[in-house]
Structure formats: C-alpha cells, structure tokens
Amino acid sequence: MYRRFFKRSLDVIASGLGLVVLVPVFVGIALAVKLGSKGPVLFRHERVGKDFSKIYVLKFRSMVTDAVTIGPGITSAGDTRITGVGRILRRTKLDELPQLWNVLKGDMSIVGPRPEIQKYVDLFKPDYQIILQIRPGITDNAAIAFRNEEVVLAQYEDKEKAYVDHILPQKINLYKTYINQIGFWGDIKLIFKTVLG
C-alpha cells in the first residue's frame, strides 16, 4: 500500500518543503560554486530511471566543466578534476541537494537505489530489471554504506574495475534488500540516518 500510493506523496511533500526551506543554502552554495571556478552552477548528468527511462540528474557542479571528457566516469578521492568547493560539497553530500527537484518532478524518490549510468546498468541488466521497478532515490542503505566510496576507490589502481567488480555488486544486493523491505518507517529511518550522517 505504501509503495504503490503513499511513497510518492511523501516524496512530493518532503521535496517541496526541502526546496522551500533550503533556499538560503541553495543560494549560498550556488555563489560558492560560481566564485570558486568557471562554469555553470549545476551539472546535469544522464542516468537510467524507473522502467529503464532516461532521466537527467541534477547536482551542484563539483568538478571542472570539461571533467567528463578528460577523465574516467568514476571519481575517487584526490581526483584533480574536483574543484576546491567541490571537495567540500562531495564530502558533505551537499552537491546532491538539487536532486530534490528531480524528486518533485517524479524522476526520483527521496529514498531508493541510486541512479546509475547506462553503461553499468547494461552490465547488470537482470539485476536492474528488478531494481528499476521503482524510482531511483537520493539515499538508501547503499548510499549510507558507501558514503566514503571515493576514498575506497582511491586505493585501487584501476578504479573503474574496482567499482564494477567490488562496489557495484554490493550496492546491488543492498538495493534488492531495500526493495523487498520498502515501508514508511524504513524510509523515515533512512532519511534521518542520511541527514544525521
């Protein structure tokens, strides 16, 4: 019942309130990004959404403007493409705040599996046929468990291989666990865990 009817209501209420209440934070971050390096305030990246639809996820820009053309799709700690302001935003996860707009639009949910790029979805398609029955989210158990993912990846020489072979399979297991246990109080707990760090 919650999954089918009330989860979306929670998303609309929470994202709408968040966008209104956090206006001063959005303005402050936007100014910091703009003054910190050349380029747009927001970064728009294509991901795979519910039922394999194409969505464009918003983030505050934390890297140089041409980052996607001058390096790998995976980012690790110490990546020279990350700006000074970007390091703070990524460490605190404040770069994810614009995704509240994705939630309000209906592309994403507050709680759900993190949206992935097409290349990695294709590698684990049978798993994603289960995972993408629901909207991807801003946070979930995997996002919390891998809060320091960039630090973990920095230990590997081949970061993309490490992500595909080690990290993503663990995330996928956590995504499936979440889907099997979706509930109101579970979502509320995950939201509080995310906010409280």
Length of the chain: 197
Six-digit token string for 125:
């398609």
Which positions ≥6 away from 186 have C-beta within 8 Å?
A: 111, 178
Per the structure, the count of domains in the chain is 1
Which domain, by its residues, includes 151? 2-196
* Cα(62)–Cα(41) distance, integer angstroms: 9
Q: Is the pLDDT of residue 54 over 80?
A: yes
195: helix, strand or coil: helix
With CA atoms as reference, report the closest residue to 102 among 194, 1, 16: 16
β pairing state of 42-48 and 137-139: unpaired
User: What are 169-197's pLDDT values in tens digits?
Assistant: 999 999 999 999 999 999 999 999 998 87
pLDDT at residue 171 in the model: 98
